[in-house]
Structure 1
Amino acid sequence: MNDAVEVTLRAVGVLAAFLVLPLLVGQTEHKVMAHMQGRLGPMYAGGFHGWAQLVADGVKFVQKEDITPAAADKRVFRFAPAVALVPYLVAMAAIPLSPDVVAADLPASAVFVLAVTAVGILGTLMAGWASANKYSLLGAMRAAAQLLSYELPMVLAVASVCLAAGSLSLTGIVTAWSPAWLLFQLPGAVVFLVSAVAELQRPPFDMPVADSEIVFGAYTEYTGLRFAFFLLSEYAGIVVMSLLFAVLYLGGWHGLASDQLGWLWTLLKGFCIAVVVIWLRVAWPRLREDQLQRLAWLVLVPLALAQLALTGVWVVATA
């Protein structure tokens, strides 16, 4: 196959997955939350289980008026949603679903994905600063503090997995994975999952968008399609972090008939983690800002350091 054609097909595949998977997670969140809380909501749109309600919501966002505040920095204000959304598209290209199904198999893809996903917070900061709204700015500052606090334990948890596998490549990590990691890397897995939820500003770590305190944080002044892009970036972040968790800790494509269905195993494992993220929103109340910082620096960072030290001892002992 011509190289240009192959690159084009890979790009189209990543774009298609980026457009479909976040919407699937969004629909799942609506239905899972509805059943867990006993409020089923719309059940008739499109027939089975109201599947077309999400499509109707999308049409509603497109029809809404696009408003830019008079005092806003208009160029930055309009560009912020793209900055929040595009990094997850780039990160998805480097996450392997199987040895053959990966858009960009980079030598240090684990580091690349972590670095790219951290860029998304710039979109929130741009939105908060450019909105000329004190509540938006406060939400953006909260989001920045949250990212700084939880990026460190996440990086340490991933470093432990890379050390155990002897590789910075996500493909190499899955190749070196063994079922023993389910117990051996369990503390690091917990640290990674909690940190990922906090970086995505998902409940119970949604203080940057706490409606009872700061309206809707950095997104208060956004309407229409630009607001929808911020929502899409949240669900895209859930997809990226769930797939990354499946690759790092659950063996990715390892499973029955992995040669043919490896990509499906990775997607199913990632989907299960996405459901856990949704469940956390329903099951846990929002933390206070001081509780957020205490959890990061007094619990997660020491636990991640302990996991890293334990992995180092294990690697030396089994060398």
Structure 2
Amino acid sequence: MEEKQAERVSILLMNPQNGEIYACVNVPEFDLNEPFELNSGMDAEGMSEEKKQDLLNQMWRNPCLNDTYEPGSTFKIITMAAGLAEGVVSLNDSFYCPGYKLVEDRRIHCANRRGHGAQNFVKGAENSCNPVFIEVGLRLGADKYYQYFRQFGLMEKTGIDLPGEAGTIMHQEENMGEVELATVSFGQSFQITPIRLAATVSSLINGGTQITPHFGVAIESSDGETVKALEYSNGRKILDGKISETVRYILEQVVEEGSGRNAAVEGYRIGGKTATSQTLPRSANRYISSFLGFAPANDPKVLALCIIHDPQGIYYGGTIAAPVVRSIFENILPYLGVDKSDEKPYNQT
């Protein structure tokens, strides 16, 4: 067998305007003809029934909706939207990053241990600076943060039309102190499903309208006639349209000028956010690298989420996950009929 370069890769593609899922892929895949050998590298002969059943259970899982993970910095999109909506942060607010932030008795580090120095909020997002987002989370406070969790649907399942969807694993509100609030603000110390994150971010960038992710669009007869068009619960307003526009603008800057540069596609306006989170126990040095992107940034037609579990060697999301999304966008944007644009990212004041 080839030496693996990662434990698993999951990719979701969806329409952020209405929740239609274009692709949902997990690698390694499975072969129904040789399910045990592919999943374990072992022949089924001599394998216990218990082992067989365990492998079958693993084989049928869809990690995009059956499993949770620590999202890392892609979750900063949630903190960003909540902070802007509540008015506790604006684009030109000034921050200073010395490489860490003291919260109660904890020194919580930035990914850049040397620090980013002085920066405004947009630059903080471009740099994926933990201290900036910790500060926004602390300004919100636990009560308001939870209010936005509920408003954005993060504490609910998405209602996707497949079985076995898992729910968000979050601190109890009454147990969330400042340290917990700080770590949640940059996407650690809790778990969420990829589909929940993708659905929520879709709603935050589409103008603020909640969507229900789904595969099925219609029931057809054997001769191809539509018997019934399937309808899904869309339409609840969860974010003001102007705030949604500002979120898109910031995330476009992340790709134009910041940590998401490797997702840029010439001629297209791309928005997105990188993430690199460390799994438990932290001492194991195992990482989850990811990138969430959308295009066109000013009027999103497609959203992509790429998650790479336990990559070997380089593990930064901006280095290994962002190029995957770039390659996908290079192929599907022309297919979707999205025209190239000479327009530069719009300015915000």
- TM over 0.5, shorter chain: no
Name the TM tier (shorter chain). under 0.3
Structure with greater helix percent: 1
With a CA cutoff of 8 Å and minimum separation of 6, indicate the structure with the bigger relative contact order: 1
